[in-house]
Amino acid sequence: MTNKNYGRVTGGRIMEAYYDYPHLTNLVYEALDYGMESIQVFPNQVRRAKELLDGRPDAPAVCAVIAYPHGTFLPEQKAYEIEDAVQEGADQLEVVLNVVNVRSGDWAQVEREFALCRQAAGARTLKFIVEAEYLKPEMLKRVCGLAAAAGIDRLCTSIGVYPIAKDGAEAAAGAEAEDVRLMKEYSGGKMKTVAMGCIDSPERFMELLNAGADYICTEFAAQILKKL
């Protein structure tokens, strides 16, 4: 497999406070160079990214992150933001799930969130970040089932910015191979799985692909693809 082949299952992203306009330009050209499937940007950078891509036929999809990075919004608020991002030109939408509702067992509200966002996104690719690091397997299973029933296209594992306490130490929570395996199993082939969060080396990239991830999204996409 060449790095262009890997590019087709890779998303590049820049989601930090210190990234400026030249970083966005750089991401766009890296995505073109490596044939990346998509780039994820803040909604207020979608228009700029689309202008840079200038309608090229080999352009990656431009994905707007919604309710990012914490998903504690009402479904109506997320739908409003999705409609706004679509107006800006977003090809894909990546929504952070309201994980508080999941942890509270408020499944009716989880279903409403999937339904309203699906409606707002129309035919565009709709992904949800489920923050698997906060979910017990039974919660993750139910989320996958409801998302598949609502016609969600892809589920993403993590955000990768929040530190989490595990085994007495604190570290950034990111994609885990076990979460990818569970999400693949629970999705029953109805949705694609995206590994995301703290993927910073070719080894991690391959580990998650081998665990069954359909796509890998990472801030380090170009550096990783260059080494593969």
Partner 1 sequence: MYDREAAARLISSPFTSNLDNALIERELADGFRAGIRAQICAPGQLELIRRVKERFPDSKTRIGMVVSYPYGGMTTRVKCELVRQAREAGMDEVDIAPNVTAAASQDYAAVEEEMCRIIEAARGEIRLVPMLWMVKFSFETVDGLCRVYKRLGIDSVKTSAGIHFGEMLVEHIEWLHRNYPEFCIEVAGRTRQREKAEAMFRAGASFIHTGSWRKLSGIGTDPAFDGATKECSAGKFTNYLQEAGK
Out of 36, 63, 65, 155, the only residue in the binding site for partner 1 (CB under 8 A) is 65
Regarding 226 and contact with partner 1 (CB under 8 A), the answer is no
* Contact call for residue 188 and partner 1 (CB under 8 A): no
**Residues in CB range of 115: below 8 A, 6 or more apart:** 75, 150
The stretch near partner 1 (CB under 8 A) out of 4-12, 146-154, 158-166, 187-195 is 158-166
Give the range of 12-20, 177-185, 193-201, 216-224 binding partner 1 by CB under 8 A: 12-20
Query: According to the binding rule CB under 8 A, does residue 94 interact with partner 1?
Result: no
The yes or no reply on residue 74 touching partner 1 (CB under 8 A) is yes
* Tokens 């707007």 sit on residue: 64
| Closest to partner 1 by CB, 7 or 197 | 197
Q: Which of 3, 24, 26, 112 binds partner 1 (CB under 8 A)?
A: 24
Residues 6+ apart with CB under 8 A from 16: 219
CA gap 1, 6 in Å, rounded: 7
Query: If binding is defined by CB under 8 A, does position 100 make contact with partner 1?
Result: yes
Among candidates 36, 134, 131, which has minimal Cα distance to 92?
36
Q: Which residue has the tokens 């999937």?
A: 114
**167 in helix, strand or coil?**
coil
DSSP 165: E
Tell me how far apart the alpha carbons of residues 223 and 203 are, in angstroms, rounded to a whole number: 12
Report d(CA 224, CA 212) in Å as an integer: 18
Among positions 57, 58, 108, 167, the unique one binding partner 1 when judged by CB under 8 A: 167
Binding residues (CB under 8 A) for partner 1: these are 15-24, 41-45, 65, 68-74, 77, 80-81, 84-85, 88, 98-101, 103-106, 131, 133-136, 161-167, 172-173
